[in-house]
Amino acid sequence: DIQMTQSPSSLSASVGDRVTITCRASQGISNYLAWYQQKPGKVPKLLIYAASTLQSGVPSRFSGSGSGTDFTLTISSLQPEDVATYYCQKYNSAPLITFGPGTKVDIK
């Protein structure tokens, strides 16, 4: 089975900082990778799909890259409203869908 890992598990950064979160698959998954943002007490929200395509309505400070086994989510300039937990999710092979363990982002 393909496992998904994320690093770091949590981070604290200042407003305006560039933030990068990494998601790694134990086997290649092409570009079948999505990123979600979940604010405390809220429903997950799709940010990025197909590894690098920005979902409609998502601010352009969010970007995704990668293919195969290594992927990154970048917030170019962290804003207070970006405080959330971020999850990656794969869609490919067995098991069909797996979420990463999440990365919690706070403001320093």
Partner 1 sequence: QITLKESGPTLVKPTQTLTLTCTFSGFSLSTSGVGVGWIRQPPGKALEWLALIYWDDDKRYSPSLKSRLTITKDTSKNQVVLTMTNMDPVDTATYYCARNLIYLTAGAFDIWGQGTMVTVSS
20 burial type by CB count under 10 A (0-12 exposed, 13-18 middle, 19+ buried): middle
Cα three-residue angle 105-53-88, rounded to 5 degrees: 40
Nearer to partner 1, 68 or 102 (CB): 102
Q: Single out the segment in contact with partner 1 by CB under 8 A; choices: 16-24, 29-37, 63-71, 76-84.
A: 29-37
Nearer to partner 1, 74 or 91 (CB): 91
Residue 86 contacts partner 1 per CB under 8 A: no
Dihedral (C-alpha) 27, 54, 61, 66: value to the nearest 10 degrees? 20
Residue 96 contacts partner 1 per CB under 8 A: yes
For partner 1, which residue of 84, 86, 100, 105 counts as binding (CB under 8 A)? 100
User: How many residues bind to partner 1 according to rule CB under 8 A?
Assistant: 29
β-sheet bridge partners, residue 71: 23, 66
